[in-house]
């Protein structure tokens, strides 16, 4: 008997519980995706604050917060947007921790899109994601491929400068207030293009940018936000 899923748990039907290599690889792959099927295959809860409420998985378009450090970062913007998701009470409130979590655990298909993007822009002399990741691996101040520009208690500002455009990305923890009952994580992006190449690039990339950010935030909520650290 092979390995299979029953009632949301992985069942090993092999003798003495020794799965064949293909089954082991399939289990690891589905487990690591954090997707709906991956969640069904897990044998137990992973570290993190799982958000079962559909409301806590909902990503909404919002106006970029005027108090964010990316507001007014450029004299003009060719793209300026923001997306928001609720944070459960037990989740971390540290913006750098949350930023690293969101961008390090993006859905697998985003990596495929990034590789296609790199192949297309490398011939234009633009920075590739692979090159930017290497900078971080060599000790640069980065979150994934993004340079860290500024840290504040409730916000971290990331981004990059290139010959066609500059951009800044804010990951901001907004406390509850009159308009919202829960804390929210807001990711804002501001892009300033230098030339026609930049404007053409952002026109092509913008739909994917929106899809990727929304997917990353939903994915983070589904697999479980990092928990708050004990005080002291």
pLDDT for 181: 74
Task: Determine which of 9-18, 34-43, 63-72, 171-180 has the lowest per-residue pLDDT on average.
Answer: 34-43
Helix axes 129-137 and 108-121, enclosed angle (nearest 10): 110
Place 12 in a pLDDT band, splitting at 50, 70 and 90: low
Q: Is the pLDDT of residue 63 over 70?
A: yes
Cβ partners under 8 Å of residue 12, min gap 6:
3, 18, 19, 23
Identify the DSSP state of 225.
B
In angstroms, what CA-CA distances link 143 with 35, 55, 96, 215?
Answer: 23, 27, 8, 18
Does the CA dihedral 200-106-222-84 come out positive or negative? negative
Place 232 in a pLDDT band, splitting at 50, 70 and 90: low
Distance CA 149, CA 161 (A): 11
User: Percentage of the chain surpassing pLDDT 70?
Assistant: 72
CB 1 within 8 A of CB 14: yes
Which domains, and CATH codes, for the chain? 4-41 (no CATH), 54-223 (3.30.530)
pTM: 0.74
């Amino acid at each position: 008997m092979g390995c299979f899923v029953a009632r949301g748990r992985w069942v090993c039907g092999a003798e003495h519980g020794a799965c064949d290599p293909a089954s082991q690889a399939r289990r690891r792959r589905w487990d690591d995706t954090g997707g709906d099927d991956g969640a069904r295959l897990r044998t137990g809860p992973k570290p993190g604050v799982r958000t079962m409420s559909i409301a806590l998985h909902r990503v909404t378009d919002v106006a970029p917060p005027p108090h964010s450090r990316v507001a007014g970062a450029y004299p003009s913007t060719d793209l300026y947007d923001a997306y928001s998701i609720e944070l459960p009470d037990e989740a971390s409130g540290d913006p750098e921790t949350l930023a690293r979590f969101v961008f390090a655990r993006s859905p697998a298909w985003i990596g495929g899109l990034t590789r296609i993007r790199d192949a297309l822009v490398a011939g234009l002399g633009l920075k590739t994601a692979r090159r930017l990741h290497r900078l971080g691996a060599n000790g640069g101040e980065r979150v994934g491929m993004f340079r860290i520009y500024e840290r504040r208690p409730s916000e971290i500002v990331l981004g990059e400068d290139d010959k066609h455009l500059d951009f800044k990305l804010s990951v901001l923890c907004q406390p509850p207030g009159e308009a919202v009952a829960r804390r929210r994580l807001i990711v804002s992006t501001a892009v300033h293009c230098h030339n026609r190449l930049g404007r053409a690039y952002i026109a092509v990339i913008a739909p994917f940018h929106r899809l990727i950010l929304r997917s990353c935030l939903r994915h983070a909520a589904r697999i479980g936000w990092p928990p708050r650290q004990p005080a002291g």
